[in-house]
Amino acid sequence: MQDTQATPDVIDQILGIGPGDALHTLRHARDKVVSATQSFHELAFHALGLSDDQRRNRFLVATLLADATGPDDLASLYRNHLLELKPSADYIDVLEGRQSASVALNALADYTKALAVRPSTADREALLGLVKAGWSVPEIVALAQVIGYVSYQTRTIIGLKALQGVGDVSVAAADATEAETFVHPAHLPPPGQVFEIKGFTNATLDWENWLPIQDVNTLTQEQERILATSHPKAKESSYYMLLIQAPELLEQRSLVYNAIMYAPGGAPRAEREVAATTVSRVNGCVYCASVHAQRFEQLSKRNDVIVQIFEDPWTAGTNARERAIVQMAIALTQQPREFGSEHIEPLLASGITPEQVRDIIGAAAIFAWANRLMLNLGKDVRPAK
């Protein structure tokens, strides 16, 4: 992989920030998130072992995604990288929204566009269509990681730009006047009780892969190492045994995820889980919603807001602070092109600091990535009773 220190940080570049800027200072206070994100970018697009065709394919899907969601400057950056590689007429046709003579590229473009804003619309048949069009399983796994990454990257940039646009955020935070206390409605199920609401649950689920997974007996030493650091039971997980077919991307993606969701300080862990559960609910990712509903309950010892999110995320939140988090997460997930400072201001007004807003944006953005892997490489399964 190329030395990431020699390449400008892409998110900083698109945001137009540098040392001395308030947003730069705020973002780089989470240095592990910044470095892990940029390292994934380098690995995905500029690793020395990539062929020109692999890079063309990855820049193509990145351009299509950024075209669909914004920001336009990022779409232009990816488009320029693709054009520098002198793509064939088939790539240009797909890039311009036309059917090309390449069945493989047409299938990839259709799949990518389906995942851009509504990831639940790409299903098993769409995934298997890639196989039928000639894509290998390791290629599909790698492209799925790239699609997830760019979905996260676009929303990170859009969210931080909106925070930057608020202006004097310290004044906005100090203006908070509402301090509602939590009241646990008597009719809600008590913490620890399993519930099913509109197809979503806090029960522990299984996950079934739609593509062949790696045979545990054929793992390389490097794959063994990455699985050991990814999850204690990774070898027993179809999810990890599928993703390990693009091992370096799996490892780097885990570093980004952990830096966002588990970093100390900043936004309370439970509030990051509220954002994660909200994004998973509106994206239709039952598996991720179940996992992060459980994590919220473990951290907060309550489940009231999770019940509300499952029932109707557009009205969910037990107080102004939670409602602001939920509404921000929905807007960043479903309408990234329309997302702006008006979606950030309620968080600041409810007493959430800019540092905490940064972390909540990160949690919402990383689940654009997580949901696209879980929803489109397999499906949630209720365990046998």
Among 174-178, 238-242, 260-264, 312-316, which stretch is predicted with the lowest mean pLDDT? 174-178
The alpha carbon dihedral of 92, 97, 98, 100 has a sign of positive
Cβ atoms of 146 and 62 within 8 Å: the answer is: yes
DSSP helix/strand/coil, 133: coil
pLDDT at 194 > cutoff 90: yes
Reported pTM: 0.93
- For residue 197, the surrounding DSSP H or E stretch is strand 196-197
CATH number, domain with residue 225: 1.20.1290.10
User: In 10 A of CB 88, how many CB atoms?
Assistant: 13
Q: What is the mean pLDDT of residues 340-350?
A: 97
337: pLDDT confidence band, cut at 50, 70 and 90?
very high
Q: What is the mean pLDDT of residues 80-97?
A: 98
Cβ atoms of 20 and 51 within 8 Å: the answer is: no
Q: What is the mean pLDDT of residues 183-203?
A: 74
Fill in the amino acid letter for 189. Answer: P
- How far is the C-alpha of 104 from the C-alpha of 126, rounded, in Å? 12
* Enclosing domain of residue 217: 168-381
Round to the nearest angstrom and report the end-to-end CA distance of the chain.
47
Same domain, 8 and 128: yes
183: pLDDT confidence band, cut at 50, 70 and 90?
very low
**Comparing 191 with 30, which gets the higher pLDDT?**
30
- How far is the C-alpha of 44 from the C-alpha of 53, rounded, in Å? 13
Same domain, 71 and 196: no
Give the side-chain half-sphere CA count within 13 A for 313. Answer: 24
DSSP helix/strand/coil, 374: helix
Q: What is the mean pLDDT of residues 44-62?
A: 97
Cβ atoms of 341 and 161 within 8 Å: the answer is: no
6: pLDDT confidence band, cut at 50, 70 and 90?
low
pLDDT of residue 104: 98
pLDDT of residue 215: 96
pLDDT at 158 > cutoff 80: yes
Same domain, 81 and 189: no
Q: What is the mean pLDDT of residues 172-193?
A: 45
Residue given tokens 């002198």 in the structure block: 86
Look over the chain and give the mean of its residue pLDDT values, rounded to a whole number. Answer: 92
Domain count, the chain: 2
Same domain, 157 and 238: no
* Residue at a domain's end among 115, 130, 162: 162
Same domain, 95 and 172: no
Cβ atoms of 343 and 328 within 8 Å: the answer is: yes
Same domain, 94 and 207: no
Same domain, 104 and 174: no
pLDDT of residue 258: 94
pLDDT at 339 > cutoff 50: yes
Fill in the amino acid letter for 294. Answer: Q
Tokens encoding 174:
């100090």
Question: What would the pLDDT profile of 223-245 be if each residue is shown by its tens digit?
Answer: 999 999 888 889 999 999 999 99
User: In 10 A of CB 259, how many CB atoms?
Assistant: 19
**Residue 211 DSSP symbol:** S
Same domain, 22 and 56: yes
pLDDT of residue 168: 54
pLDDT of residue 191: 63
Same domain, 70 and 129: yes
Give CA separation, 17 vs 23, 216, 350, in Å: 7, 45, 27
pLDDT at 178 > cutoff 60: no
CA 210 to chain centre: 20
Give CA separation, 239 vs 132, 146, 210, 242, in Å: 22, 16, 10, 5
- Could you tell me what percent of the chain has a pLDDT over 90? 88
Cβ atoms of 216 and 346 within 8 Å: the answer is: no
pLDDT at 171 > cutoff 70: no
Question: What would the pLDDT profile of 12-25 be if each residue is shown by its tens digit?
Answer: 999 999 999 999 99
Q: Pairing state of beta strands 196-197 and 200-201? A: antiparallel
pLDDT of residue 43: 98
Same domain, 97 and 82: yes
pLDDT of residue 220: 97
**Residue 340 DSSP symbol:** -
**Comparing 317 with 230, which gets the higher pLDDT?**
317
CA 172 to chain centre: 28
Residues written for the chain: 385
* Residue at a domain's end among 117, 138, 162: 162
pLDDT at 175 > cutoff 70: no
Residue given tokens 């199920």 in the structure block: 189
User: In 10 A of CB 163, how many CB atoms?
Assistant: 23
pLDDT at 103 > cutoff 60: yes
pLDDT of residue 384: 76
DSSP helix/strand/coil, 263: coil
**Comparing 384 with 80, which gets the higher pLDDT?**
80
User: In 10 A of CB 7, how many CB atoms?
Assistant: 14
Same domain, 297 and 186: yes
* Residue at a domain's end among 127, 162, 197: 162
pLDDT of residue 189: 59
**Residue 234 DSSP symbol:** G
Fill in the amino acid letter for 70. Answer: G
Question: What would the pLDDT profile of 256-290 be if each residue is shown by its tens digit?
Answer: 999 999 999 999 999 999 999 999 999 999 999 99
Same domain, 216 and 352: yes
Exposed/middle/buried for 95, CB within 10 Å: 0-12, 13-18, 19+?
A: buried
